[in-house]
Structure 1
Amino acid sequence: MGKKNFDSEFCGRLPLNNVNLIQDYGYLIIASRSELKILQVSENSEELFHLSPEQLITADLGKVLSGEDVKQIKIFIQNDIARRVPMELTIGKSEVHSALFHLKPDYLVLEIEGKPKSGKRKLSTVLADIQLAINSIEAESDVKGISEVAIRELKKISGFDGVLMYQFDEDWNGKVIAEEKTDLLEPYLGQTFPASDIPKQARDLYLKNPYRQIPKREFTPVSLFPVVNPVSDGFLDLSDYNLRSVPSVHIEYMKNMGINASMSIRVLNNGKLWGLISCHHIEPKYIDMELCSIFEMLSATISSKISTVLSLEDGQISAALQQTRVDIMDRLHHKNNPDTAVFNTDGKELLSLFSVGGAILALNGKKGEVGVVPDTDFVDELLLWIDNKNLSDIYYTDNLSEAFEEAGPFAKQASGLLVMPIDSKQSDYLICFRPEVEATIDWGGNPNEAITFEANGKNYHPRNSFKLWKEKVENYSTAWKDAEIDAARTLASFLSKLRLGETAE
């Protein structure tokens, strides 16, 4: 069977950032930027300030924070701090709480840690832990090594029962590529989780927040007071805040997984979400802001190292492709005969350039071929199908039979297709075929049952089993790399110009 897209549009439409609820392990204060008057508070703030939400609204921040804290906040505002900033707040006479300061155009937000700081770790100890982890990560030279070291260090620092690394594929399914865990948790190494587990809206939030913590699965969500933010005249956008509440479907997901606490840390590749590090714990587990800051720093280190390694690999591939492409183009220029130049040395260079099993050059009503290609009748049908596309650019697919049903019987030779138009009006093309690569995906539970609806069509639930579920995938080739597509585009342009006699002498 072919691959399916398990990215859930339904889950992606749920307003994760406009729920007007926070988790109960901390407090939220929203104040005006200009006057530092309190606009909104979480309804549990009375626990911290011993004043009701009604008493806090319109009060000065100085009524609940120390003069030094207010002075620091004013400095942040004067410097127009764009990113969130960790700080310590003195509540009452001596109680110190960690907090995150967020500055918005018209208001500021304080996320305050629920538990007062019980004692600082020595700075030298903190720096030593961070430096040891960074040194270990930097010493690795490939993605596998980086991933394995990263989760080992994070598990050691955090004490979670299990830590694993997901890598997203092109359809946003996440494959577990590294795992460290105790015997209390089920193993997931090598398994793939469907994109619907982390739908698009949730993934987008990781571009704003380096981590997401749920320290206690069973918690009572806390509302904001008043319900409507007086500045935006609507619900407060909670996208940037760690305290943002958790959808009930995800709570059920955690329950089905057998965990009471989780934390996820993003991994970026050149600014785009590449993967996630997921931490699980059987019992409730809270990670304080100091340790979260370490996780944030290590997230940046891991992302930077993976980006560097992947860029180096892409560069090496591009360099090899460029050299082969240049050799072919040089012969094209001097021989002025596309057929013999493209298929020089039995076409091995072309086949190697694009990692294909066979190729056809359709030019001036004639066809030349090299390697393993489908039969003549099929190629004629394929050319008609390509003609109808009126191509002005490269066309490629790793699942030809999905787009062109007649290709099904020829999947062994032609599951992948790369078409370089030379002159589509004259049916002149260079066409490459990639053979089928049969694969079996080990899913963490049946992806077809990722979400199930009740009879009313409104209430829904995540899958209740993560038992290994195998899926055989057919009619697919290996995916085309960006560097290969770039090389194809350049070669097609050169062939087109050569045909028109436009190449330089």
Structure 2
Amino acid sequence: MKPMPAISADPLRDDCASEPIHIPGSIQPHGLLLTLSEPALVVLQASTNVNTELGLGAAPLSGQALGSLIGAHALAQVRLALADLDADEDELHQVTLNGNLFDALLHRHQGLLFLELERAVSPRHAAALHVARTLRRLQSAKSLDGLYQTCVTEIRALTGYDRVTLYRFEQEGHGKVIGESLSDGMQPYLGLCFPASDIPPQARELYRLNWIRVIPDAAYQPVPILPALRPDNGRPLDLSFAVLRSVSPVHCLYLKNMGVRSSMSISLLKDDQLWGLITCGHREPLRVPHELRTACSSIGQLLSMQITLLQEQEARRQQQEKTVMIDALADAMAGDTLDVMESLLPHAQTLLDLTGAHGLAILVEERLHCFGACPTEAEIRALYPWVQQQGKGVVSSHQLAVDFPAAAAYQAIASGLLAIRLPKPVNNAVMWFRPELKSTVNWSGQPIKHQDAGAGTSSPRLSFELWKQQVDGKALQWSASVLQAVESLRRHALELDLARQVQREHAAVRARDELVAVVSHDLRSPLTILLMQCGMMRKLVPADDTKANLRMATAIETMQNATSRMNTLLEDLIDISRIEAGRYQVALQSLEVNATLDQLGLMWHPLAAAKGINLTWRAQPGLRVQADPERLFQVFSNLLGNALKFTDLGGAIEVIAQAADDHVLFRVCDNGAGIGAAQLPYIFERYWTSREGNPTGSGLGLYISHGIIQAHGGTLWAESVAGQGSVFSFRLAAAP
């Protein structure tokens, strides 16, 4: 057994991959090709054998009318074929040229009409009966393996080729023979792999575009097309859809090395991508009639649909099994109070069955639980940061030592990794492990090209004998259904984890509310008593100006102010609790705006006058607003209190009320210190006390005012320029 060479580094493979096989400039010699302009059907280019077949000598054909070359009767048949082409019909039309019968094939590409005249060949048997039988057998296949074998057996019986193989492209790009039918003496390829370099990308694209491709004799001499470039644009002629298109000389040598003289391939597509090929080979030249080729094309299309159908049926069956397991795991997570990951511990076997893994590790914070064949605890903990770094909810690898080199130390038991984790700050993951498949891949010959030393050109590999490659460090790949299943499991875990977080937060809010209620209830009574006692003590202090009496009066006043502040803070805490719990309630009623502002003025005018600040009110007459009078008074108290605090002696404060559509707009304007642009976005947050000169502020007033206005269904915002003043505005619904 030998290690596989680095094919991707082979310059000969690169040469083959860059070969422009769609513009060979020639055709195979079993037919004629002409390109025509429409609607006049004037010849633009023609294969050189047209002159020979029609007995025209060596005269150039470009620019001549098609009818003048093939005659009126043949031209009429071509026009019938053209009518079918326009009607999207696939009928066979034949023309006779110089006593020889030709099949007329038409297609359009890049603004040209292509006419291919392929020498007719009689079928060995009536294709219709065989095709009907083949289609019935394909449709009745119950498994993919049965479908593959039925296909190759029926196509060999239909066409007479010595070998028919069904070749599937694997994820890595190479192909594998999964079905085969042989005549005696042919080398079997069933189960062998063919390297990706055997069919370069541009060849795969042509297979994708054309259902069928035929080479009746790989030892042919190409027939040139003249003129070499298109007369209308000077470019090479694109023969991507031409049946007669000449093939790469490298491919012809490839067929020779394989021991076949003629070949046919039928494309198999899935989701419009090349899924595989049915390849046919014969030891002698073989012409397959157009009628049989059309039938084979239909078989390829039906087989493509049947493969997709059976694969989807199998995928649905597997998905149903996995859905049952996921539902059971989701119920286990939902019915437990533990961390959702830890809730899975009793269901380790179900988790292993879900993915077909051999080992399982569940990490919850610092706790690691392992089941089955796993790396050591230290190795798993060293692997986890790499899983985190991938930044994905689901991480998968079937060659972990390549993706995470440290895993080479334990690749025998963990060459495959599948992991899910939740977006939480703590360590958490479910990790599945698959062992290394220390296996042998059987190749049809060593996958390497050779170079012709004399010509300096590349040639296909020479040998198709069995060549074995030892594969190390790889596990069975995680299927799409497994990846979908663990993604679904992760989604359930994420939803349940978020639900538990919400429940915990709601419980914390309830506990806080209860604590606030108890504290406020238990503190209000002693605070009220303190305020009353302070009032009584002030009355008992003599009114004379002795030093002792003044000191006593000052101490009592300090106690009274501190107690009042504590009482205010208690009220603020209760308001915050209600706002954050979404239970802040307001008792709305219709208020006359002017009367409300007059009532506020009775309290705030004396306070403003005492500080030497001019406080004015201005409101449109007749305004009414829907508001809770007590809460509205609280908002104004906070806004006016701040304005007075940060407006200097001689400053001005103005309160304005005006109609704004179906709302009333209130503004409290001052020409005080203002708020810096860096601080303005944060002023309605809790505990905002960053303004200089506000050492005694609690930072709760604006936050509570914002919550009160929101509870009214209104909005509160601020505009300010440092050193010039501030404007606090809010909208409330107008009352009828």
The two structures share one fold, judged by TM-score above 0.5: yes
Structure 1 pair 477/20, CA: closer, same or farther in 2 (3 Å)? same
Q: Distance in 1 between matches of 2:78 and 2:214?
A: 28
Deviation at 1:456, TM superposition (A): 8.7
Task: Quote the residue 2:482 is aligned against.
Answer: 484
Q: Indicate yes or no: 2:369 matched with 1:368.
A: yes
Alignment partner of 1:384: what SS? Answer: helix
Q: Distance in 2 between matches of 1:15 and 1:426?
A: 56
Aligned partners of 1:339 and 1:368 also within 8 Å: no
Q: Distance in 2 between matches of 1:231 and 1:161?
A: 44
Task: Quote the residue 1:451 is aligned against.
Answer: 449
Task: Quote the residue 2:16 is aligned against.
Answer: 11
Structure 1 pair 26/70, CA: closer, same or farther in 2 (3 Å)? closer
Aligned partners of 2:341 and 2:430 also within 8 Å: no
Q: Give the aligned length.
A: 494
Alignment partner of 1:500: what SS? Answer: helix
Structure 1 pair 74/210, CA: closer, same or farther in 2 (3 Å)? closer
Aligned partners of 2:81 and 2:93 also within 8 Å: no
Q: Distance in 2 between matches of 1:232 and 1:86?
A: 32
Alignment partner of 2:463: what SS? Answer: coil
Deviation at 1:17, TM superposition (A): 0.6
Q: Indicate yes or no: 2:175 matched with 1:174.
A: yes
Aligned partners of 1:175 and 1:193 also within 8 Å: yes
Task: Quote the residue 2:341 is aligned against.
Answer: 339
Structure 1 pair 4/424, CA: closer, same or farther in 2 (3 Å)? farther
Deviation at 1:67, TM superposition (A): 4.3
Deviation at 1:501, TM superposition (A): 3.2
Deviation at 1:416, TM superposition (A): 0.5
User: Counterparts in 2 of 1:270-309, with a 5 A limit?
Assistant: 270-309=271-310
More displaced stretch, 326-335 vs 303-312: 326-335
Deviation at 1:393, TM superposition (A): 3.9
Deviation at 1:430, TM superposition (A): 2.1
Aligned partners of 1:49 and 1:91 also within 8 Å: no
Task: Quote the residue 1:409 is aligned against.
Answer: 409
Aligned partners of 1:497 and 1:503 also within 8 Å: no
| Deviations, residues 348-377 of structure 1 (Å, cap 9, x unaligned) | 111111111122223334333333211011
Task: Quote the residue 2:263 is aligned against.
Answer: 262
User: Counterparts in 2 of 1:78-157, with a 5 A limit?
Assistant: 79=87, 81=88, 85-92=90-97, 95-104=100-109, 106-113=111-118, 115-116=119-120, 125-157=126-158
- TM score, norm. by length of structure 2: 0.63
Task: Quote the residue 2:499 is aligned against.
Answer: 501
Deviation at 1:336, TM superposition (A): 4.7
Q: Distance in 1 between matches of 2:502 and 2:225?
A: 70
User: Counterparts in 2 of 1:239-250, with a 5 A limit?
Assistant: 239-250=240-251
Structure 1 pair 230/490, CA: closer, same or farther in 2 (3 Å)? farther
Deviation at 1:221, TM superposition (A): 0.8
2:77 is aligned, of 69, 76, 96, to: 69
Structure 2's unaligned 5+ residue stretches are 504-736
Higher relative contact order, chain-length normalized (CA < 8 Å, sep 6+): 1
Deviation at 1:78, TM superposition (A): 5.0
Quick one: which amino acid aligns to residue 495 of structure 1? A
Alignment partner of 1:369: what SS? Answer: strand
Q: Distance in 2 between matches of 1:225 and 1:67?
A: 21
Larger relative helix fraction: 2
Alignment partner of 1:409: what SS? Answer: helix
Task: Quote the residue 2:382 is aligned against.
Answer: 381
| Deviations, residues 431-452 of structure 1 (Å, cap 9, x unaligned) | 21112222211111112xx212
Aligned partners of 1:164 and 1:179 also within 8 Å: yes
Q: Distance in 1 between matches of 2:85 and 2:232?
A: 17
Q: Distance in 1 between matches of 2:98 and 2:264?
A: 33
Q: Distance in 1 between matches of 2:222 and 2:157?
A: 31
Q: Distance in 2 between matches of 1:121 and 1:413?
A: 57
Task: Quote the residue 1:474 is aligned against.
Answer: 472
Structure 1 pair 25/425, CA: closer, same or farther in 2 (3 Å)? farther
Q: Distance in 2 between matches of 1:111 and 1:366?
A: 73
Q: Distance in 1 between matches of 2:433 and 2:112?
A: 58
Structure 1 pair 38/490, CA: closer, same or farther in 2 (3 Å)? same
Q: Distance in 1 between matches of 2:349 and 2:101?
A: 70
Q: Distance in 2 between matches of 1:170 and 1:436?
A: 18
Quick one: which amino acid aligns to residue 75 of structure 1? A
Structure 1 pair 424/476, CA: closer, same or farther in 2 (3 Å)? farther
Alignment partner of 1:306: what SS? Answer: helix
More displaced stretch, 206-215 vs 489-498: 489-498
Deviation at 1:309, TM superposition (A): 1.2
| Deviations, residues 233-287 of structure 1 (Å, cap 9, x unaligned) | 3111111122111212112211211221111112233433222222111111111
Task: Quote the residue 2:321 is aligned against.
Answer: 320
Aligned partners of 1:343 and 1:350 also within 8 Å: no
| Deviations, residues 393-417 of structure 1 (Å, cap 9, x unaligned) | 4221111111111111212221101
Larger Rg: 2
Deviation at 1:326, TM superposition (A): 2.0
Structure 1 pair 217/70, CA: closer, same or farther in 2 (3 Å)? closer
| Deviations, residues 36-78 of structure 1 (Å, cap 9, x unaligned) | 2111111111133333575422222323253422432553565
| Deviations, residues 135-178 of structure 1 (Å, cap 9, x unaligned) | 22222211221121211111111111222222221122222222
Aligned partners of 2:16 and 2:458 also within 8 Å: no
Alignment partner of 1:41: what SS? Answer: strand
Deviation at 1:292, TM superposition (A): 1.0
Aligned partners of 1:85 and 1:102 also within 8 Å: no
Q: Distance in 1 between matches of 2:188 and 2:22?
A: 32
Deviation at 1:481, TM superposition (A): 0.8
Aligned partners of 2:138 and 2:150 also within 8 Å: yes
Alignment partner of 1:207: what SS? Answer: helix
Alignment partner of 1:423: what SS? Answer: coil
User: Counterparts in 2 of 1:172-211, with a 5 A limit?
Assistant: 172-211=173-212
| Deviations, residues 321-353 of structure 1 (Å, cap 9, x unaligned) | 1221122123223325313432233x1111111
Quick one: which amino acid aligns to residue 110 of structure 1? L
Alignment partner of 2:208: what SS? Answer: coil
Aligned partners of 2:127 and 2:291 also within 8 Å: no
Deviation at 1:427, TM superposition (A): 4.2
Q: Distance in 1 between matches of 2:389 and 2:331?
A: 32
Structure 1 pair 395/230, CA: closer, same or farther in 2 (3 Å)? farther
Q: Distance in 2 between matches of 1:117 and 1:357?
A: 59
Q: Indicate yes or no: 2:222 matched with 1:221.
A: yes
Q: Distance in 1 between matches of 2:397 and 2:455?
A: 36
Aligned partners of 2:165 and 2:278 also within 8 Å: yes
Q: Distance in 2 between matches of 1:59 and 1:159?
A: 41
Aligned partners of 2:368 and 2:377 also within 8 Å: no
Q: Distance in 2 between matches of 1:148 and 1:92?
A: 42
Q: Distance in 1 between matches of 2:99 and 2:171?
A: 52
Q: Distance in 1 between matches of 2:433 and 2:6?
A: 24
Aligned partners of 1:86 and 1:98 also within 8 Å: no
Aligned partners of 1:212 and 1:263 also within 8 Å: yes
